[in-house]
A and B are shown apart, each in its own frame.
Chain A
């Protein structure tokens, strides 16, 4: 098991609502990445945070936003939820730098009705 934790484990929301997902990174890691994994697909990169600043972003709309806190924990916020946002959301922590191994949390499964 990695030291990355995520909460909640499961969540049900309705279309148009807002959701906040949380992640605590592994000790010693100051970089956090968020991924969306739709059913039957590989993880898709949403964004990465390093030292509380966004450090890269995938092809996701602005209604996907994030924060990283001084203790390197992180939040993913999604506004105006759509049905297609239903997925497993994964958080991964790592040391900074290219090709550093990412350590994943167990994920939050979001269902949008």
Chain B
């Protein structure tokens, strides 16, 4: 069975500082990994995905994520946080043989001015 863990319910960071939102996964075979962001009363917006290739994936709004196979992690990062980055972030994973993604519970990112 697939599973995704986001160990932090909330991450607080000061504007201008780097941010990291953590995600670990468990899937059979090669993973496909995704990050989505959700603003209040809105649907999920796609940020980036890892399919294969370079372990560092660059996405929208200056976000990037690093795939680490040995640690089964796919942490979301941004070098300099903005107040407007404050939102709910979801990590999702599916195995190479499945099109059904499993989502984590989400991490609330709060960027303080």
Contact = CB atoms under 8 A, between A and B. Distances in A.
Interface of A: 2, 4, 6, 35, 40-45, 48, 55-56, 58, 90, 92, 97-107
B101 A45 contact: yes
B32 A98 contact: yes
Given A98-B32, A99-B32, A43 B103 contact: yes
Interface residues of B, number: 26
B43 A48 contact: no
A100 B49 CA distance: 9
Nearest to A41: B105
15 contacts: A2-B43, A6-B43, A43-B103, A90-B44, A97-B99, A98-B32, A98-B96, A98-B98, A99-B49, A100-B99, A101-B34, A101-B49, A102-B46, A104-B46, A106-B42
Contacts of B94: 98-99
Contact of B43 (A42, A58, A100, A105): A105
Interface of B: 4, 32, 34, 36, 41-46, 49, 51, 90, 92, 94, 96-106
B99 A106 contact: no
B51 A104 contact: no
B109 to A, nearest CB: 15
Contact of A58 (B34, B49, B96, B100): B100
A106 B43 contact: yes
A42 B104 contact: yes
Contacts of B96: 98
Contacts of A48: 99-100
Interface pairs A-B: 4 shortest CB-CB = A42-B103, A104-B43, A99-B32, A104-B44
Given A41-B106, A90-B44, A99-B94, 18 more contacts: A2-B43, A35-B103, A41-B105, A42-B90, A42-B103, A45-B100, A45-B102, A48-B100, A98-B98, A99-B32, A99-B51, A100-B99, A101-B46, A101-B49, A102-B46, A102-B101, A104-B36, A104-B43
